[in-house]
Structure 1
């Protein structure tokens, strides 16, 4: 890699000069019998997991990662994170939390995008090139952290800086040597420099490739060209600013995201979203309440952030954090309390599901605001989306979203076909004491209908699920399994019982090592937005696997 590319990549670490790092806590687990878990939560500080040993998984914003020994994992404040690990040896497992304190003037309050991009320069998995060095640092940090001597505890902070330096250095070296990491790095580079004029030639230099080679590999990896991704990302940032109660003029937003031609910006915005920017800004001022869980996933696909949503749903808090606003009202589970909250909110529209609300309940909600209850039973998720879009006058936005979804599904099919081949897939969900095989009118539709994966023998594709006993699993003759285990104690107990049973060990997919897992929350919803996330998950599970 030439000096120009090296300088470009070093510039990504330049904001470190304005940051101070303070270790808040470190947890060291090394007992073989001990299990460690991190409950589902939004991070309030930065998090590092160092998997010196053990097995487990990490879920970040709905993306499932299998923990790999020799890697470090970094999560940022505001991300929705859940994790579990076990089977540690003497090398242990480390869980660290730290804060970033900036010693430079704070970014202007109205520049949300810059504030987001100025966080720690590395997120997700980092393959540690010197695991022994990092492990020894972690062990010493843990020892000093617990020491009664103030100087020892002070030394733990110094060693923590050394550990961060090692991880950042390893991340940079991997970016320089691995083509896939180089493409991922360039994608992040686009996200951090989208306000500037970016050309294929410049991006190819960042990736350390020729322009032709870069264009081909970028599209192969992400399913769209680098210039298309730049446009999509710019429009997404423009949408975030437009949602901020009309505080910004349209031309100022266009300039902020890198467009100096207003007409071109309007044309590109409509091409990406399906509606003109002025209409989007007007619609963003509407207050639309999601009365039931599935309504959230349909509204998000229509580029609507609900002004109110069920409090128990993870995305309610996620959007409060993402947009740094308290405008998303968490609705109570109590019926009367929920009605009172909606009356005080004065929403423009209320969206629900017809089969989840009685006629009396629907009538009460109609008194508060115009309410629409999607006809759920007998319609597929695409029809659900189109019906809702028709009511909200967002049909064009729905069709653009569906067009993008179909294109993405084709891309994922191409990427995973050499892995799944003609494998027969069985999707098993464990809920309490029940074992359910999922069919098409569920998240299974993504795999069976959109990705054209062959269903195992006996899967009823006309039903969302069918209950089975563990001894019946072998009759499906599946040679690939996808397992979803709910998070409650009874479901986890049922899973451990199944996993240790003779019928489970005799399954072809188990013997061949073709068992994959999905987290239970969100994925089980039958909505447009969660199905789009499922395409990402399928790509991560099965691309470039043998």
Structure 2
């Protein structure tokens, strides 16, 4: 009990000192003062901090300074490197520039050029993926806090690249003031669910670049590149993705060439049976990676089905995507589940696919890099 209480006190102390560091970047507390705040001696505090956070207090201070610097560069028009350096507590501008390049990979002057043309994304699709692949960081972009709670509402592969971007909660109606406060030169907007109308944005219609919903990932890339004068980069991005798709297809060919597949998403109150085209993820699986679609699945979109209907479908192999373990566990307990052909032959695959979002080049590449190993090690034993 004493150990349990001590651990919790220690955690509370570390979390409090993290807040202190974040709130005093320009005039940071000494290790001694931080240790006092955590009611620990300096040596114990440093060890406990590193164990809890994964880095020393000094390293954490540097990380937070870099994050704050990115935000200042993206969100403050006309700010200079010297101003940024002073605001994050680094008095020597040249030391700050070296430190920033060491941590980010480019100097501050190059980083600021990524947002020279200020773009806000108003969409329920991660169009920031396309922008980043073109070398542009948006000043505002959508996020899904409940879908990705541990990475600021973003897939983990986008989180670091969007430090400094204002993240808009796409799970609710967008707040126009929050968007316009970022002072965008252009707003890239797709149709929103439920026909939401952003009245304040409409009053700034000259800034809005409307993009229709697409069925192919690279249609978004090509249109955004055309809007921003970045067409020269598109072929290289598409060729890189196509090469990776062929590599993965060859790698998994022995695994996919036998049997007809069906893809399902088990949700809280329904099972979705997906079609084989006009969806970036399903197009990738069936068209690019060589999975053979069961002839009785939908052509496009999805159908809500029961377990009994999955039995009747009689698919040789079943791929479960995006599904929470509690929902899968509930469904596999249904009596008819064991009658599904793929279940009987142990050909049900349930990879960790929560971040499989191949609508943009970065997400598509991330999915492909992990695809073969994720799939081949994911048989669902029920």
Distance in 1 (alpha carbons) for counterparts of 2:314 and 2:330: 21
Aligned equivalent of 1:445: 283
In structure 2, C-alpha distance between the alignment counterparts of 1:101 and 1:409, rounded to whole Å: 37
Name which of structure 1's ranges 473-482 and 352-361 shifts more when overlaid on structure 2.
352-361
Q: Please report how far the alpha carbon of residue 410 of structure 1 lies from its aligned counterpart in structure 2 after TM superposition.
A: 0.9
Please name the residue that 2:245 is paired with.
409
Bigger RCO (CA 8 Å, 6+ sep): 2
Cα offset for 1:332?
7.3
Residues 301 and 398 of structure 1 are in contact (CA less than 8 Å); yes or no, is this contact kept in structure 2? no
Residue from 413, 430, 433 that aligns with 2:269: 433
User: 1:307 is matched with which residue?
Assistant: 139
- Is structure 2 residue 254 aligned with structure 1 residue 418? yes
CA distance in 1, matches of 2:369, 2:226: 27
1:330 aligns with 2:168: yes
Counterpart of 1:298? 130
Q: What displacement does 1:246 show?
A: 7.6
Structure 2 counterpart of 1:364: 201
1:457 equivalent in alignment to 2:290? no
- CA RMSD between the two structures: 4.5
**Structure 2 CA distance, aligned partners of 1:470 and 1:405?**
36
Distance apart, 1:537 and its partner CA: 3.5
1:121-520 equivalences under 5 Å are 247=81, 282-294=113-125, 295-313=127-145, 314=148, 317-318=153-154, 322=160, 325-331=163-169, 335=173, 338-354=175-191, 356=193, 358=195, 361=198, 364-365=201-202, 367=204, 370-377=207-214, 379-439=215-275, 440-442=277-279, 443-461=281-299, 463-484=300-321, 486-487=323-324, 492-493=326-327, 495-519=328-352
Partner residue of 1:156?
A: none
Shift of 1:535: 1.4
Aligned length in residues: 303
Q: What displacement does 1:400 show?
A: 1.8
Q: Which runs of 5+ in 1 are unaligned?
A: 1-22, 26-43, 45-96, 116-238, 258-268, 270-277
Provide the rounded CA distance (Å) in 2 between the counterparts of 1:437 and 1:508: 16
1:424, 1:478 within 8 Å by CA — same for their partners in 2?
yes
Where does structure 2 lack aligned partners over 5 or more consecutive residues? 1-5, 9-14, 16-50, 82-92
Q: Which has the higher strand share?
A: 1
Q: CA deviation at 1:446?
A: 1.4
Q: Is the 8 A contact 1:423 1:480 kept in 2?
A: yes
In structure 2, what is the equivalent of residue 98 of structure 1?
Answer: 52
Query: Partners of 2:218 and 2:248 in 1: how far apart?
Result: 19
User: What SS does the corresponding residue of 1:98 show, helix, strand or coil?
Assistant: helix
Query: Is 2:271–2:305's contact at 8 Å kept on the other side of the alignment?
Result: yes
Q: Distance in 2 between matches of 1:372 and 1:468?
A: 38
Instruction: Give the 3 Å change call, closer, same or farther, for CA 106–466 of structure 1 in structure 2.
Output: closer
d(CA) in 1 for partners of 2:60, 2:316:
53
Partner-residue secondary structure (3-state), 2:296: coil
Q: For 1:364, what is the secondary structure of its paired residue?
A: helix
Superposition TM-score, scaled by structure 1 size? 0.46
